[in-house]
Amino acid sequence: MRLVLASASPARRSVLRAAGVEPDVVVSDVDEEALLAELGETSPAERVTALALAKARVVAGRVGTEADDDSPFDGVVIGCDSMLDLEGELVGKPGTLEAARGRWDQMAGRHGELLTGHAVIRVRGGEPEAEISGHAATLVTFASPTTPELEAYLASGEPLSVAGAFTLDGLGGWFVEGIQGDPSNVVGISLPLTRHLLAELGVAISALWASAAPAG
């Protein structure tokens, strides 16, 4: 069975690959800012879950219509979206050096809750058949990097394009004191939650292992 990841995130792909699944990657190009504006003052969990579902729906429709008529798509599409709840403020990718520096001024020595919305769509015969969504939350405790450490991290460019301006599996891991909850969720896709959502749609995780490429 094929698994399509509706995300360009190399970190999410790496999590799946390390767990024995080789996903196809199809980027949704959902306008996240426009969708967040439509959602208004909904809860942080509702916002990340709605974004994940929107991405998965776009890609599910795409793989269904682009498949060969003689071999329609049969598999699952997974969409994810991560944001950091920092003292009641929901923040995503900073995008600029100044925004990332300001984010770290807020985070240093404090806690934040990393929220990731997940959506899974079962596609059979090229047609979306069923969908399910949910979210996972992990509490992150941040270190207080020195000014030279922070400036070097910012100069690397890594924090500009990741939710909350940090990573757990990259350079940012040096500045994470601890986590409470699922570490894979902090990287970008919760394996426990994904397994549960797949099971709700009648998909055993072993069906995805069977299609995985051998580790090398």
Residues marked as catalytic: 81
- Single-letter amino acid code for the residue at 65: T
Q: Which residue has the tokens 């798509």?
A: 73
Tell me the C-alpha distance between 12 and 115, whole Å: 14
Nearest to 63 by CA among 93, 96, 92, 27: 27
Is-contact 166 175, C-beta < 8 A?
yes
- Residue 48's identity, in one-letter code, is V
**Of 107, 117, 118, nearest in space to 159 by CA:** 107
Cβ atoms within 10 Å, residue 115: 24
